[in-house]
Structure 1
Amino acid sequence: MPGGEYYPLADFSPWWAVIAVALVLLVAAWYAFVIWFPRWKHRPRGAAAIPEPAPWQRQQRISEHYLAEIDRVERDYADGRIDVRAAHVRLAEIVRRYTLEARGIPTLPMTLQELRQARLPELAEVVQGLYPSEFGAEASGSVRGSAQAARRAVTSAWN
């Protein structure tokens, strides 16, 4: 430019260069993390995911515990501490808690239909047998027979 004024180059702060290098390094570190670090396994959740059964020794200990609970219900009924309805309610709870502890399936809030959909035929059969005495207008039924059904579910199911 003839006759014009020249202006010197602008002086930039060195911090801009440090920030630019840091951003490039941050992006490179992110890509390295995504590529080189292992990814978490995808685990299905919900009703379709049925956990593996407990190891044999643990399974036996769990079964023995719940068989003792069933015996306690029979003794309490025989001694008159609980009535027929309370015995059946406790038996249903015992079998459901057994399923929770042995398999990790939360069956306490499940309905009979949900138990069938969860592919738990032994539990569904026992619960179906206990329903009339649990929820019927008159509490009737054999506590001994219901306890035997609960024992079969605890000793034969998933072993």
Structure 2
Amino acid sequence: MPGGDGFYPPTMYAPIWAILGAILLILVAAWYAFVWWWSHKRHRMPGPPPAADPFLEAARLKSKYYGLIEEVEEAWRAEELSTRAAHQKLGTLVRFFVFESSGRKAQVMTLEDLNQANLRSVADAVEQYYPAEFAAVDQGDVPYSADVAREVVGTWS
């Protein structure tokens, strides 16, 4: 009987276990490196867009909203929109134009908020749209309201 004095000699392990352990540690480290690289690459915030000429940008934005106002007016003439819906869309367009051109959150402001924010031309237009938007029957002059929207877009600076 080996080790008759109560002690047993150390057991020898095959070198394959040390190699497998090292490979496992390398794979775990590679996995963490890969996950960090993949998430870092995919979720990086985009840089700011190149600076555009503010005058060209303003002209492009005004042209866009003139076209949208014209679409609302044409849809109303083709009887695809009611007078109420046309006024609601015009009010929305005016508010979003202000938001896109200045960053002021006019699209979520009430009429009182617009007045307090000193957005007088927008507040006047929205106030003019309110009777047609909330009337019990269709009423209002869509061509005149479209002209009011065009005036707001044209005079905005």
TM-score, length of structure 1 as denominator length: 0.64
Percent same amino acid among aligned pairs? 34
Q: Distance in 1 between matches of 2:154 and 2:135?
A: 28
- Which is richer in helix? 2
Whole-angstrom distance in 1 between the partners of 2:138 and 2:109: 22
Question: What does residue 121 of structure 2 align with?
Answer: 122
- The TM-score normalised by the length of structure 2 is 0.65
Task: Decide which structure has the larger Cα Rg and report it.
Answer: 2
Aligned-residue Cα RMSD (Å) equals 1.1
Distance 1:124 1:90 in 2: 15
Q: Which residue of 2 aligns with 1:56?
A: 55
- Cα offset for 1:87? 0.3
How far apart, CA to CA, are the structure 1 residues paired with 2:80 and 2:69? 15
Secondary structure, aligned partner of 1:108: helix
Q: List structure 1 segments (4+ residues) > 2 angstroms apart after TM superposition.
A: none
What is the Cα deviation at residue 139 of structure 1? 2.3
Provide the aligned length of Structure 1 versus Structure 2. 105
Q: Which residue of the partner structure matches residue 90 of structure 1? A: 89
Q: Give the whole-Å Cα distance in 1 for the aligned partners of 2:55 and 2:114.
A: 24
Structure 2 residue aligned with 1:45? none
Provide structure 1 residue ranges, at least 5 long, that are not aligned to the other structure: 1-53
Partner amino acid for 1:72? Answer: E
Could you tell me how far apart the structure 2 residues matched to 1:143 and 1:151 are?
12
Identify the residue that residue 79 of structure 1 maps to in structure 2: 78
What is the match of residue 150 of structure 1? 149
Structure 2's unaligned 5+ residue stretches are 1-52
Q: Distance between the aligned counterparts of 2:95 and 2:73, measured in 1?
A: 17
Equivalents in 1 of 2:56, 2:144: separation in Å?
Answer: 28
1:33 aligned residue = none
CA deviation after TM superposition for structure 1 residue 125, in Å: 0.5
